[in-house]
Structure 1
Amino acid sequence: KAERPVPGNSLQITGGEPTLRPELPEIVKIIKEEGVDHIQLNTNGINLALNPNLAMELRDAGLSNLYMSFDGVSPKTNPKNHWEAPYTVESCRKANLGIVLVPTVIKSINDHELGGILRFAQRNIDIVRAISYQPVSLTGRMKKQEREKYRITIPDCIERIEEQTNGEIPRDAWFPVPSCSPVTHFVEAFTKRPQYELSIHFACGAGTYVFEDKNTKKLVPITSFVDLKGLFEYLDEKTDELNSGTNKYLVAAKFISKLNSFIEKDKQPAGLNLSKLLVGALLKHDYSSVGQFHIRSMFLGMMHFQDKYNQDEERLQRCDIHYLTPDMRIIPFCSFNVIPEWYRDRIQKKYGISVDEWEKKNGEKLEARLYRGTLRRGKHADGCGCSSVHIEPITGT
């Protein structure tokens, strides 16, 4: 909250596996009471599959969405939670708790299922808000041939998604994350309040928004029916007007009257009124209005974290994902993880406790909380809340 010019109001709880903490709903509630608007939970989702009530408890406490590991649509590519993920999705659906699917993409391991992951998300588009594809960050030493076998880049992933969706999500649908800066500048000038600006290095990420056509059931990228370049240039013009003192209501009226000229209505997905969503998100710009845009769309993101083979100081300086450490330091994500002996390992050693200490403190064996993979054997744990739920298996079609 001490960050300036914009106090931080978006936070992700991560681990380890945060749902192992029985007091997690209370932790979420405390964070919410501190004024954090958006709280995200990084999880494998297994405990939310076994205990559907947990999703509702977390939602009631103030959790915004899950950031759920999901590496593929087959047991081979996603052994971590292939069998459990459908139950997690159903738990979140009942709690109206959105999900971001997070595949770590490794060449030769799961890059052939990127389209399948997208189709799984589409079948659950009512509750899956986004996919954050993450090309693997290779840490530690490895031979050149191993790097070539496993390393995959953002352009590689975009090409595979185009191929695996038969061109439904073409490569030109994607745009670098910082290209959205005109939106931030306009909102900042209109509201007279500092805003987050996604000014990261262009090589750090790419994204696009897709909408499902209610008639054809196809996914339509925003770039297929919106002149984004023209819209962004127009927003820059209106930003200059606002900064020069033009009445903001006059600018708003101009924006509303001009907006439809950037949208090809005959190509707009059936059932979508994009101009209405954009007016709400850009002019009202409250949490609810921005949320409505994300509920109606699905964001496809691509984030390539650095590793020891491509560490770039300029990218670190422009990072917008930070770790907040117990000693109140803010550390760029790739600094924290890429050279773990400088940050991550030291912090974990300083503030962590051993298994023996934990067991003594809590009066139980840590192994007692170990998940035994009951769902992947077609069974249910005693007393689990998902035993009466019928779940369709995960497929990539």
Structure 2
Amino acid sequence: MPERPYTYYDFTLSLCPHCLRRVEAKIVFQDEAVYMLKRCPEHGRQKVRIASDIEYYKQIRNYVKQSEVPRRFNTATHYGCPYDCGLCTDHEQHSCLTVVEITDRCNLTCPTCYAESSPTHGRHRTLEEVEQMIDTLVANEGEPDVVQISGGEPTLHPQFWEILDMCKRKPIKHLMVNTNGVRLAKDEEFVARLATYMPAFEVYLQFDSFREDVLRQMRGRDLRQVRLDALAHLNKYNLSTTLVATLQKGLNDDEMGQIIDFALKQKCVRGVTFQPTQAAGRLDHFSDEGRISLTDVRTGILEQSPVFSADDLLPVPCNPDALAMAYALKLDGEVYPLTRYIKPAELLQNSRNTIVFERDPRLQGHLMRMFSTANTVDTVTPELNQLLCCLPLVQAPTLRYENLFRIIILQFMDAWNFDVRAVKKSCVHIVSKDNKIIPFETMNIFYRDQPKQERLEVLRDIPVL
């Protein structure tokens, strides 16, 4: 009998990338990769490569955990995902990290910008508006895990310090500022004042490349010296920092190992986040040839960095389709990957991870000194609760946040690779201008501006095909 040229694996709902209507989609294995096959009545058949590693794609199902939902939901489920965002009652994950955009304005006009920010775009939110956004989040979460003050460029806001002071009065576990670093590079006093908000405070610093041509294509400007000057100030005050690199295939995906190596040498840097470009917002030089998947990034890290192995970069249980993470310990000038010792079954059954280590006298010596409980020569029960989470709870006597180093791969789906199963578990959210809490992915596809919302009103009445 004749055979299909692929192996049928699964089924989901996706979007037509041209008109954004919901369509059925097959997940298939073909030519050693994972593809999504879908058909729009108006725009025909589409084939989108969503993963380059079939075995890893199958493995992520082993990391799915029971959903943790917010204390309250904000909208009813009427039209079906993704047309009810707010969070709707059908969403399966609370806000692990929430972005609060305090301004539309920016001191750059990056050719790659999901928010389409610029020096003339939009306006600053008032302090009252921002506090209402924060209060909406607190009502949902009780104690939000991570809140990221963003924009635009948040350091331009005329009431920036008042906003930080207000946030520090709220029950927020960890506060971040998302920045391009221009202000931090020019103004050491600004960085010194930021450092007074520690602990539980961090800078999320844009860091895409070491090459001028890449930065001009992605950011419209050679920002190499800006990044170095900003980091010099951040290192001086040891202000906790995450470097975040937006990636495009064939442009800067060959620099991942170099960025990790550079980050490990910076006193202030606690980790690197790699984000494949989401096809949304301003994309002056992006084409589908530049699309890169989570598994492409993971493979690139493993090929380019000698520090991490395949057992280190694991799916994150709250949304394993979109998140992978590795943790390491930085001890006495050496780096010890940690997540390789986590087993999926134990991870999902216990809130406190029991980590079984290989016989490494150096590592065991460090751990026996640092952790409060030791069971055997090979087993240590460290106070690193919820290790595969944005921020583990660290309660070891001599272990500090600066001893931890994390690698995160964070893939924000767009209309091409949209998978309704994954977006229901999205845990990175944005508080909208009308005080709804919306997954990052659907915010940029449907809810960011008035034209998109008007298009959404039309789509809601179209049946799934």
> How high is the TM-score relative to the length of structure 1?
0.65
5 Å-filtered alignment, 1:1-397, equals: 1-4=138-141, 6-61=142-197, 64-79=201-216, 80=219, 81-124=223-266, 126-139=267-280, 146-147=287-288, 149-165=289-305, 167-178=306-317, 199-200=318-319, 202-212=320-330, 214=332, 217=334, 219-223=335-339, 226=341, 228-229=342-343, 233=346, 236=349, 259=354, 262-266=356-360, 269=363, 272-273=366-367, 276=371, 279-282=382-385, 289=395, 292=399, 294-337=401-444, 339=445, 342-346=446-450
Shift of 1:92: 1.5
Compute the displacement of 1:269 (Å): 4.2
Distance 2:291 2:385 in 1: 38
Q: CA deviation at 1:301?
A: 0.5
Q: Deviations over 1:262-312 (max 9, x none)?
A: 1224165487327618633349x9966389554212100101100111112
Aligned residue type for 2:437: I
Deviation at 1:210, TM superposition (A): 2.2
- Provide closer, same or farther for how the CA distance between residues 310 and 47 of structure 1 changes in structure 2, counting only shifts above 3 A: same
CA offset at residue 55 of structure 1? 1.5
Please list every run of 5 or more consecutive structure 2 residues that lacks an aligned counterpart in the other structure: 1-137, 373-380, 454-465
Instruction: Say if 1:133 and 1:301, in contact at 8 Å, map to a contact too.
Output: yes
CA distance in 2, matches of 1:42, 1:314: 28
Tell me, in whole angstroms, the C-alpha distance in 2 between the residues paired with 1:156 and 1:286: 26
Q: Which amino acid aligns with 2:270?
A: R
Alpha-carbon distance in 2 for matches of 1:210, 1:13 = 26
Q: Mark the CA change 1:114 to 1:141 in structure 2 (over 3 Å): closer, same or farther.
A: closer
Q: Which amino acid aligns with 1:11?
A: V
Offset of residue 172 of structure 1: 3.0
Q: CA deviation at 1:108?
A: 0.6
Deviation at 1:113, TM superposition (A): 0.6
d(CA) in 2 for partners of 1:77, 1:282: 39
Checking the alignment, whether the CA contact within 8 Å between 1:67 and 1:100 is kept in structure 2 is: yes
Asked if the contact 1:49–1:87 (Cα under 8 Å) also holds between the matched residues in 2, the reply is: yes
CA contact (8 A) 1:174 1:206 kept: yes
Q: Which has the higher helix share?
A: 1
Letter in 2 for 1:89: L
CA RMSD, 1 decimal: 3.4
Alpha carbons of 1:269 and 1:46: their partners in 2 closer, same or farther (altered >3 Å)?
farther
Q: Which letter maps to 1:66?
A: V
- Report the counterpart of residue 192 of structure 1 in structure 2: none
Which letter maps to 1:162?
A: L
In the superposition, relative to structure 1, how do residues 211 and 234 fare at CA in structure 2: closer, same or farther (>3 Å)? closer
| TM-score with structure 2 setting the length | 0.56
| Corresponding residue SS for 2:311 | helix
